[in-house]
Amino acid sequence: MFIYDSVQKKKVLFIPIKENEVKIYVCGPTVYDDAHLGHARSAIAFDLLRRVFIALDYKVTFVKNFTDIDDKIINKMKENGQSLEEITSFYIKRYKDEMNLLHVSDADIEPKATETVVEIVDFIETMLEKNVAYKTSDSVYFDTSKDPKYLSLSHRFIDEDASLARVVQNDEKKDQKDFALWKFTKGNEPSYQASFGEGRPGWHIECSAMIEKHLANCGDFQIDIHAGGADLLFPHHENEAAQTRCKSGQELAKYWMHNGFVTISGEKMSKSLGNSFFLKDALRIYDGEVLRFYLLSTHYRANFNFSEEDLLLSKKRLDKLYRLKKRVYETPCSEVQPTFKQSVLSDLSDDLNISKALASIDEMVANANELIDKNPKDKAFKALIHANLLWLESLLGIIAHDPYMYFQIGVREAEKREIETLIEQRNSAKKEKNFQEADAIRSILEGKNIQLMDTLNGTQWEKVL
RNA sequence: GGCGAUAUGGCCAAGCGGUAAGGCACGAGCCUGCAAAGCUCCGAUCCCCGGUUCAAAUCCGGGUGUCGCCUCCA
């Protein structure tokens, strides 16, 4: 497996800390609002990473956190008069439901910040003891000057005057780069007891504490891979790494992976721009699997410009897989073709090169269709192809539906019966060589976006988007 | 202002020094009563200018465009 490491800034051979095992931590969402396409893309990208490692026979431990205590959540509490719990449990459930529609598996461990407070407090106590953190009137800060490697992750040089001019000045901080580990309570908001003062955790500390709690190794590195969106590299990941380095003497992660953004009309979706395309809205229009396949089909590091037109084009590629599935659906699976499996896995082992993998898959599809055309009764071959498709389902999280149902998504039962009746009428007309009548019926159905196809197994229909 | 990424045929998109994968769209053919589906065939010298090399889309330098990070963010 080769992966692109954001810190080394190049593609490197992945060597696990412990043979045949991989520990992955992904930064999950702050749960105060609905997830948008960017969350989906990140989740799908690293879900693929996880599936590929599993397919390569690694023992995978996959952790994704929920940030469930934060300024924005508190603001929402004040706005809506809801409790913290009410808000976060609502959005966590919605996030997980939506991710499941996208066939993103739940993580093995899904820690919440509020359930990690004890560890966070311990973590900060140790940093205070080690004198790499200090207290001011409102917060406990991390002292970045104590970390000689600070900024080595994001390769940044901070110009004290220019680049931090946009940050609100705080005279109590020793250095503008220093960041809050703990914010003392101002009253009337959720807070936790701590030896250094009642309050709540800052954003960066939870990931370091969670990794230590759930995953940490003894050795140079605590985990194998830390992943997240490209916007997290600085300051979030830089700060996580610094905390852990100064607290435990270990590097947080051996490899760092960052996914590119989803843009709309070439512009990043972001909360401040207010141009977010929420998943709940996308899922009202598009099937989750179609959306997954679309978001999956561009390499995870590249920026992804979302457009409905491209989504529909991408669907056509998925349709072809489903049509092949129809052709082999009645034949029980045998074994995946080794050459096919090997070729797809080797494509994906190259830093998740999905484009290459899809090309290999398309080649398999074309080849399979050709041979089934030539020899429609070759059950042994169909069994192999069926097995290939089933294997792809586990590897990519696609082609999971019944292939007939897939083409009928969004068609109501009554409408289905109506379609079947029209098809029967058309078939009678065809038998009587009344092609005018048959074509007229076909036109009626086409007007309803129903496409007919006469096959050896009778007339089939598909809903066209 | 500082830092970084990227620029490939009509569109999406691989490529990581040896003479441009794949998908969609378009066109032609096979198949079909006709279609649809499926199969086959068909198109680019890679933003510009210099340089390194026997050899560059791929490396280096300089431009130009686009995007991002530096503030919550996947």
Residue A176 has a pLDDT of 85
When the pLDDT of each residue in chain A is averaged and rounded to a whole number, the result is 94
Protein-to-nucleotide distance from the CA of A230 to the C1' of B73, whole angstroms: 10
Protein-to-nucleotide distance from the CA of A362 to the C1' of B27, whole angstroms: 22
Residue pair A464/A451 in contact (Cβ under 8 Å)? The answer is yes
Protein-to-nucleotide distance from the CA of A5 to the C1' of B10, whole angstroms: 35
Protein-to-nucleotide distance from the CA of A33 to the C1' of B21, whole angstroms: 41
Protein-to-nucleotide distance from the CA of A309 to the C1' of B47, whole angstroms: 26
Q: Which nucleotide is nearest to A270 (CA to C1')?
A: B73
Under the banding of pLDDT at 50, 70 and 90, the label for residue A271 is: confident
Protein-to-nucleotide distance from the CA of A88 to the C1' of B9, whole angstroms: 49
Residue pair A24/A85 in contact (Cβ under 8 Å)? The answer is no
Q: Which nucleotide is nearest to A159 (CA to C1')?
A: B2
Burial class, A15, CB count within 10 angstroms (exposed 0-12 / middle 13-18 / buried 19+): exposed
Q: What is the DSSP string of A397-408?
A: S-S-S-HHHHTT
Residue pair A430/A424 in contact (Cβ under 8 Å)? The answer is no
Q: Where are the beta strands (DSSP E) in A287-427?
A: 304-306
Residue A333 has a pLDDT of 96
Q: Which CATH number fits domain A2-132+144-157+202-264: 1.20.1300.10, 3.40.50.620, 3.10.180.10, 3.90.550.10?
A: 3.40.50.620
Protein-to-nucleotide distance from the CA of A301 to the C1' of B49, whole angstroms: 30
Q: Does residue A378 register a pLDDT over 60?
A: yes
Q: Does residue A236 register a pLDDT over 80?
A: yes
Q: Point out the least confidently predicted range of A161-165, A193-197, A219-223, A263-267.
A: A161-165
Rounded Cα–Cα distance for residues A201 and A116 (Å): 10
Mean pLDDT of A195-216: 96
Q: Which nucleotide is nearest to A446 (CA to C1')?
A: B36
What are A425-462's pLDDT values in tens digits? 999 999 999 999 999 999 999 999 999 999 988 999 99
Protein-to-nucleotide distance from the CA of A355 to the C1' of B8, whole angstroms: 15
Strand B positions closer than 7 A to protein CB: 1-5, 11-16, 21-25, 32-40, 66-74
Q: Does residue A272 register a pLDDT over 80?
A: no
Residue A165 has a pLDDT of 46
Percent of chain A with pLDDT over 70: 97
Q: Which nucleotide is nearest to A29 (CA to C1')?
A: B74
User: What secondary structure letter does DSSP report for A233?
Assistant: I
Protein-to-nucleotide distance from the CA of A182 to the C1' of B62, whole angstroms: 48
Protein-to-nucleotide distance from the CA of A266 to the C1' of B65, whole angstroms: 13
Residue A269 has a pLDDT of 85
Mean pLDDT of A199-219: 95
What are A72-88's pLDDT values in tens digits? 999 999 999 999 999 99
Q: Which nucleotide is nearest to A305 (CA to C1')?
A: B12
Mean pLDDT of A214-219: 94
Phi and psi at residue A217, in whole multiples of 5°? -95, 160
| Residue whose Cα is closest to the C1' of B2 | A163
Burial letters A322-353, b for 16+ CB under 10 A, else e: bbbbbbbeebebbebbeebbebbbebbbebbb
| Residue whose Cα is closest to the C1' of B74 | A229
Mean pLDDT of A391-400: 97
Protein-to-nucleotide distance from the CA of A43 to the C1' of B36, whole angstroms: 37
Q: Which nucleotide is nearest to A41 (CA to C1')?
A: B74
Mean pLDDT of A400-412: 95
User: Which of A234, A244, A224, A42 is closest to A153 using CA atoms?
Assistant: A234
CA distances for A320 relative to A313, A361, A408, angstroms: 12, 11, 15
Phi and psi at residue A412, in whole multiples of 5°? -75, 160
ipTM: 0.95
Residue pair A452/A459 in contact (Cβ under 8 Å)? The answer is yes
Residue A169 has a pLDDT of 56
Residue A407 has a pLDDT of 96
Residue A166 has a pLDDT of 47
Tell me the three state secondary structure of residue A225: strand
User: Which of A327, A305, A301 is closest to A403 using CA atoms?
Assistant: A327
Residue pair A307/A282 in contact (Cβ under 8 Å)? The answer is no
User: Left if phi > 0, otherwise alpha if psi is -120 to 50, otherwise beta: which for A255?
Assistant: beta
Residue-range domain boundaries for chain A: 2-132+144-157+202-264, 308-405, 413-463
| Residue whose Cα is closest to the C1' of B1 | A162
User: What secondary structure letter does DSSP report for A234?
Assistant: I
Residue A164 has a pLDDT of 46
Under the banding of pLDDT at 50, 70 and 90, the label for residue A124 is: very high
Q: Which nucleotide is nearest to A263 (CA to C1')?
A: B67
Residue A159 has a pLDDT of 57
Mean pLDDT of A328-343: 97
Residue pair A124/A193 in contact (Cβ under 8 Å)? The answer is no
Residue A162 has a pLDDT of 46
Under the banding of pLDDT at 50, 70 and 90, the label for residue A155 is: confident
Cα atoms found within 13 Å of the Cα of residue A300, Cβ hemisphere only: 29
Q: What CATH class has A308-405?
A: mainly alpha
Protein-to-nucleotide distance from the CA of A355 to the C1' of B14, whole angstroms: 6
Under the banding of pLDDT at 50, 70 and 90, the label for residue A348 is: very high
